[in-house]
């Protein structure tokens, strides 16, 4: 059974409206069924992380460093050494028996791990549908130019992304409850 995307859109819209600033260190929120949910200061958002077969690392969650909250998806694998930083790659992502997603992803290298990254405006139906399929299906397959990059289990993905949302909401609520919006600055430019 498919899950409706309207509640997810309402929640994402709420998150977009909340002020968010970076924390000093990555903060583990919770471990859920093989997924680590954490707040990442580099993206100023909460993300789910899992390591799949052959040490393929996968992240999905939010990035609030820009003007718009985005859904960020990153996949890293040392076997992909020819990926070039900043180059665009046309990738196919298929969740279960759903129609494949054909997306342009940016090449990157994080601590010696080459990989691919995409950011999707979190307020769009596209982001909501991507998350819905990620949560609902039990496996995903990634391909490039017809070559299978990997097929990975999504066991626990529903609960994992629910915790990503809870983590992001908690962080946004904590930031919104500060009485002084400049409380994180070391000096107050408005003081005498």
Answer yes or no: is 181 within a domain: no
Please tell me the total count of domains within the chain: 1
**Rounded Cα gap, residues 112 and 131, in angstroms:** 28
Structure tokens at 94: 């298929």
Answer yes or no: is 182 within a domain: no
Answer yes or no: is 191 within a domain: no
Residue 29 CB neighbours (<10 A) = 19
Answer yes or no: is 59 within a domain: yes
**Rounded Cα gap, residues 74 and 177, in angstroms:** 31
Q: Which residues pair with 28 in a beta bridge?
A: 38
Answer yes or no: is 24 within a domain: yes
Answer yes or no: is 129 within a domain: no
pLDDT tens figures, 23-72: 358 899 999 999 999 999 888 899 999 999 889 999 999 998 888 999 99
pLDDT tens figures, 69-124: 999 999 999 999 999 999 999 999 999 999 999 999 999 998 889 999 999 999 99
Answer yes or no: is 131 within a domain: no
Indicate whether 18 pLDDT > 50. Answer: no
Among candidate residues 4, 6, 20, 25, the one with its CA nearest the CA of residue 169: 20
pLDDT tens figures, 52-66: 988 999 999 999 888
Owning domain of residue 62: 6-89+107-123+159-174
Structure tokens at 98: 């759903």
Answer yes or no: is 98 within a domain: no
């Amino acid at each position: 059974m498919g899950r409706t995307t309207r509640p997810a859109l309402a929640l994402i819209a709420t998150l977009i409206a909340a002020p968010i600033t970076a924390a000093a260190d990555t903060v583990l929120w919770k471990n859920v069924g093989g997924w680590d949910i954490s707040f990442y200061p580099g993206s100023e958002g909460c993300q789910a992380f899992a390591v799949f077969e052959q040490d393929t690392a996968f992240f999905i969650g939010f990035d609030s460093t820009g003007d718009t909250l985005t859904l960020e998806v990153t996949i890293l694998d040392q076997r992909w050494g020819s990926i070039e930083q900043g180059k665009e790659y046309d990738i196919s992502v298929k969740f279960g028996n759903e129609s494949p997603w054909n997306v342009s992803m940016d090449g990157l290298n994080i601590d010696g791990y080459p990989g691919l990254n995409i950011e999707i405006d979190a307020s769009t139906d596209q982001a909501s549908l991507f998350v819905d399929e990620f949560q609902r299906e039990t496996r995903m397959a990634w391909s490039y130019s017809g070559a299978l990059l990997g097929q990975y289990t999504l066991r626990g993905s529903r609960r994992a992304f629910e915790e990503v949302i809870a983590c992001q909401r908690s962080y946004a609520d904590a930031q919104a409850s500060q009485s002084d919006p400049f409380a994180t600055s070391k000096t107050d430019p408005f003081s005498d």
